[in-house]
Amino acid sequence: MKTDTRFKWDTAGELEQEPSVYAAHVGMVVGRGVVALTGHIVTCAEKAATERAVQRVQDVQPLGVVGVYHHTILKPRTARAVRESPYPAVARKCTGQGYSPSASSGVCMRRDTFLKALAATAATAVWPQAAQASNPLKMMIPANPGGGWDSTGRALGKAMVDAGLVPSVSYDNKGGAAGALGLAQFVNVSKGDPQALMVMGAVMLGGIITSKAPVNLLANCTPIARLTSEFNVFVLPANSPLKTMKDVVEQMKKDPGSVKWGGGSRGSTEHIAAAMLAREVGVDASKINYVPFRGGGEATAAILGGNVTVGGSGFSEFAQYIESGKMKPIGVTSPKRLSGELSKGIPTLKELGYGVEIGNWRGVYGTPGLSPAQRKALTDLVLATVKSKVWQESLGKNDWTGSVLTGPEFDEFVDREFAALRAVMVKSGMI
């Protein structure tokens, strides 16, 4: 359905003969078949599409509908939604002369009143700042299913759909090399696509540093937002003969190779933490036996199966196994204990006498070649998503800390993280 700026108003008042719906919409799509562009009046002649649109209007925030016009399909609650718009100028103009909602006829507005409301709204600049995505979003997850990037990407996508910000999200898992394989695919296949996002974070930066690749593909992509931060937890399989971090350290001192550390790709924050711990207790960090996995699911299986001595990752990835008693947490890399009911009993490494503190964070990037306007649209989409109830619930469920950062501040943060991680790796003997 294309945007239609022709006005087919029934000046005689015979609304029964008017088959279309008209909406001056504020840069967001409210349903399939309704293509809404700021400043345009949109026509949708399909009743089924109109009904779906109306259902979604109620769930889209911020609500910015200036006016809607149809004789049978729109429901009384739509009239109420328009009247109660959080944009005062919109609500005021829409409830003025000529606006006559009723239980039987839905929402009606005379042509002259509708056009005046549209013009006044545009003039007073009450349009929401972000135009929401009208097409399905593609989410690159550069890791195998089951890990932190996977859960972050899927939680973000679900929140977008549930909030009515995008009609759907497709996910592409491409694990390996600290996200380098997925990153390469994202750069080569999706270049210039304004409807694509890639999950990334500190692990990807660490992988780029350890790989010593001649080209940093991430530098070609478009920074969008940091989303969350968390700290790494080290765990033992429930049947391990080792019981504490002290036991692990003593075993590592005797024979570094006998302690298998399992976690994300080389250069991940858990890999760095293990190297920092080795250096802290006088063990050559280059001799630690670190086993990298392409995704959290594989690492978890290895820990549960006793194929590694110690596992490391974000608390959220191990929470269900800690709760069921299948894993025993022995230390966390945070400066102070975590606050969750299940995590608050885990001692920090500093508390245990080891000067190791390192955090992990996750965010999203857009493809190379995006215009400033396209970058802003994606940033605004993410900012609207993280305010949603579904996303906030995901933070609590996974024990993630919301740490949203966008724009130049996020760009500068990534640059500082590259430098800081490189310094830690050099100091720990990793590179």
CATH code at 313? 3.40.190.10
In this structure, the answer to whether residues 275 and 144 fall within a common structural domain is yes
In this structure, the answer to whether residues 221 and 110 fall within a common structural domain is no
In a domain, 182, yes or no: yes
Q: What is the domain extent for residue 62?
A: 15-123
In a domain, 254, yes or no: yes
54 is written with which tokens?
Answer: 């109306």
Q: Which of 93, 123, 153 is the last residue of a domain?
A: 123
In this structure, the answer to whether residues 285 and 194 fall within a common structural domain is yes
Report the domain count for the chain: 2
194 is written with which tokens?
Answer: 């304004």
In this structure, the answer to whether residues 216 and 242 fall within a common structural domain is yes
In this structure, the answer to whether residues 35 and 165 fall within a common structural domain is no
In this structure, the answer to whether residues 103 and 234 fall within a common structural domain is no
Contacts 24+ apart (CB under 8 A), 149-152: 149/179, 149/199, 149/200, 149/201, 149/203, 149/362, 150/295, 150/296, 150/297, 151/296, 151/316, 151/317, 151/398, 152/199, 152/227, 152/228, 152/362, 152/400
In this structure, the answer to whether residues 115 and 155 fall within a common structural domain is no
pLDDT tens digit at each of 431 positions of the chain:
333 333 232 222 322 233 333 333 333 333 333 333 233 233 344 444 444 444 444 343 333 333 433 323 333 334 333 333 333 333 223 333 333 333 223 333 444 544 444 444 333 333 233 344 458 999 999 998 888 899 999 999 999 999 999 999 999 999 988 899 999 999 999 999 999 999 999 999 999 998 887 778 999 999 999 999 989 999 999 999 999 999 999 999 999 999 999 998 888 899 999 999 999 999 999 899 999 987 778 899 999 999 999 999 988 889 999 999 999 999 999 999 988 888 999 999 999 999 999 989 999 999 999 999 999 999 999 999 999 999 999 998 888 889 999 999 999 999 999 998 999 888 887 88
Q: Which of 123, 149, 171 is the last residue of a domain?
A: 123
In this structure, the answer to whether residues 232 and 89 fall within a common structural domain is no
In this structure, the answer to whether residues 55 and 155 fall within a common structural domain is no
